[in-house]
């Protein structure tokens, strides 16, 4: 199987996500598309590659387009390895490295060295700071927090904060819900009956 075929199989996860978002069963999608339940299951589990025509029938049944499903399959990759530079020598200058590539619902960065943002930050969604090495100080909600190796700090969306590394070899990992996601609306929707 070549790389293009492997990419084509990934449409299954996008089909499953869309079906579940609409609250449809495989039987309902089968009735709408005219495709069999076993074939639809094989598509979702990436054991079958739909033809253009079959993909369009699935898309119609899911109230979307084949182009949207293919775009969602690219964005919905389940595995992507971001490797550290093999054999790299520690750089004394502060560095920032993305830990997740692409446009996803999760954003993760690694900050190495004596980073000092100097400015106050405020993110739309929740964030976690984790100190992998060294130490840092975080100011949030009018309080100062000292974090050491292995410590983490959770910040709710909207909390104003600033942080700085206090040791030269500090390595901080920041993981947050991406800015384009309206997590607050999602939370309100779950709470409302």
DSSP notation for 160-181? EEEEEE-STT-EEEEEEE-TTS
Please report the pLDDT score of residue 133 as a whole number: 94
Q: Is the pLDDT reported for residue 185 higher than 70?
A: no
HSE (side-chain half, CA atoms, 13 Å) at 158: 3
Instruction: Check: pTM over 0.75? Answer yes or no.
Output: no
Please report the pLDDT score of residue 115 as a whole number: 64
d(CA 75, CA 33): 24
Strand partners, 161: 121, 140
Phi, psi of 153 (to 5 degrees): -135, 125
Q: Is the pLDDT reported for residue 14 higher than 80?
A: yes
Structure tokens at 39: 């074939």
Quickly state the pLDDT bin for 88 (edges 50, 70, 90). very low
| Of 132, 127, 117, the residue nearest 163 (C-alpha) | 117
Structure tokens at 173: 């990992």
Render pLDDT for 134-180 as a digit per residue (tens, 0 to 9). 999 999 998 999 999 999 999 999 999 999 999 888 999 999 887 76
Q: In this structure, what DSSP letter does residue 116 have? A: B
Render pLDDT for 44-85 as a digit per residue (tens, 0 to 9). 988 888 888 899 899 999 998 888 887 777 655 556 666 776
Q: Which parts of 72-187 are beta strand (E)?
A: 95-98, 106-112, 121-122, 127-133, 135-140, 143-148, 152-155, 160-165, 171-177
| Of 5, 60, 73, the residue nearest 30 (C-alpha) | 60
- Alpha-carbon torsion (33, 34, 35, 36), positive or negative: positive
More confident residue, 38 or 85: 38
Q: What is the largest CA-CA distance in the chain?
A: 63
Please report the pLDDT score of residue 10 as a whole number: 67
Cβ 130 vs Cβ 140: under 8 Å: no
**126 torsion bin: left (phi>0), alpha (psi -120 to 50), beta (else):** beta
Q: Is the pLDDT reported for residue 189 higher than 90?
A: no
Please report the pLDDT score of residue 34 as a whole number: 96
Q: Which helix (H) or strand (E) holds 137?
A: strand 135-140
Separate counts of helices (H) and strands (E) for the chain: 7, 9
Rounded to the nearest angstrom, the gap between the alpha carbon of residue 127 and the centroid of all alpha carbons in its chain is: 13
């Amino acid at each position: 199987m070549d790389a293009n075929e492997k990419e084509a199989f990934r449409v299954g996860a996008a089909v499953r996500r869309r079906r579940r978002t609409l609250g449809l069963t495989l039987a309902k999608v089968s009735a709408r598309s005219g495709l069999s339940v076993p074939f639809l299951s094989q598509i979702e589990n990436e054991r079958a590659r739909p033809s253009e025509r079959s993909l369009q029938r699935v898309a119609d049944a899911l109230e979307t387009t084949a182009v949207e499903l293919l775009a969602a399959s690219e964005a919905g990759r389940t595995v992507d390895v971001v490797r550290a530079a093999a054999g790299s020598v520690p750089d004394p200058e502060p560095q920032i490295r993305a830990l997740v590539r692409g446009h996803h619902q999760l954003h993760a960065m690694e900050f190495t060295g004596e980073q000092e943002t100097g400015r106050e930050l405020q993110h739309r969604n929740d964030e976690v700071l984790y100190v992998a090495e060294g130490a840092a100080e975080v100011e949030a909600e009018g309080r100062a927090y000292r974090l050491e190796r292995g410590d983490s700090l959770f910040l709710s969306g909207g909390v104003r904060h600033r942080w700085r590394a206090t040791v030269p070899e500090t390595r901080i990992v920041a993981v947050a819900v991406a800015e384009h996601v309206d997590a607050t609306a999602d939370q309100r929707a779950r709470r409302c009956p």
